[in-house]
Amino acid sequence: MGIVSYLIFFAIVVSILSIITLGLNLQWGSTGVFNAGVVGFYAVGGYTYAILTAPGRPELLVNLELPWILGVVGALIASAIAALLVGLATMKLRGDYLAIATFGIAVTIQLIALNWEGLTGGSLGMTSVPRPLSGFFETPFTYNVFYLCLSAGFCLLTYWALERIVRSPWGRVLRAIREDEGAAIALGKDAATLRLQAFVLGSTVMGLAGALYVGFIGFVSPFDFVPIITFQIWTMLIVGGSGNNKGAVLGTLVVWGLWSASGTLISKILPAAFQTQGGAVQTILIGLVLVLTLLFKPGGLIGEEPTTSRHAG
């Protein structure tokens, strides 16, 4: 039962992280928007869910206690609004400048969560966040089985929706902008607006993942949303195959599998005095996997698939 429980937990995490990677794939793989602030929108979704659904506490400014599904909807809306505001301020930037700006915004979001104690609980976080429908299950195991179905269902729905989007005329225009923005503009396409739309939609998907994550663990703190998560998600996308939604999911499975396996191995072979350096070793390992992928299989494990039409629509 122990190994089965762990595999269920592992699959839940992979489902949630896959949703984030799919959102990044829409931004980067389909549109060429370099979002280095992935974890920021993940955090917006997670905190919004917690703020809307958590039971009342005297020290917090907001005590709504809404149903979990409204918390998820609220997370989607909040992430979309945050992405719209960020996009309006940054979409004119390109390349490294856009990466630096989005990274800075993600750090700012984490600092707000850390310091705005009246809204977020500060460094102590928010406890007793409702777990969706947990009252209907008698044991943690049965609840985790349910949550695997829930998170996998959201992941499949996200995958299906994004597949339809990228194969639509709108999605083909995004790829045309990624390949040659000047040519797309010459054909009458509003590249700036389309890039903003892709950025907002992808970030909204990341917010959904944040809500699912917080709903699963029943707790949220600023230390759940550290910059290394952005690095992990980018590695997952590149290893799996940028521009391919199947690759995004596969890359998530492979990289998170390596991260989890290496963590278990490190805990067994490193002396107790060096256990605190285990996270750094894991990061180095994932960085090595990223470098090897870029050197020997730059298209990822699954290369980008052509759309049904090569025209921008």
- In this prediction, residues 68-90 reach a mean pLDDT of 97
Judged by phi (left if over 0) then psi (alpha if -120 to 50, else beta), residue 226 lies in beta
Kindly state the percentage of the chain with pLDDT values over 90. 77
- Other beta carbons within 10 Å of 112: 16
Residue 275 pLDDT? 65
Chain-centroid distance, C-alpha 87: 17
Residue 63 has pLDDT above 80, yes or no: no
How is domain 2-296 classified at the architecture level of CATH?
Orthogonal Bundle (1.10)
- Other beta carbons within 10 Å of 100: 15
- pTM value is 0.93
- pLDDT, tens digit (0-9, with 9 covering 90-100), for 225-272: 999 999 999 999 999 999 999 999 999 999 999 999 988 887 777 776
DSSP states of 210-229: HHHHHHHHS-B-GGGS-THH
DSSP 8-state assignment for residue 123:
G
> What percent of the residues of the chain are helix, what percent strand, and what percent coil, each to the nearest 5?
75, 0, 25
Residue 282 has pLDDT above 70, yes or no: yes
Question: Any idea which of 61-70, 137-146, 148-157 has the lowest mean pLDDT?
Answer: 61-70
Tokens of 161: 């929706």
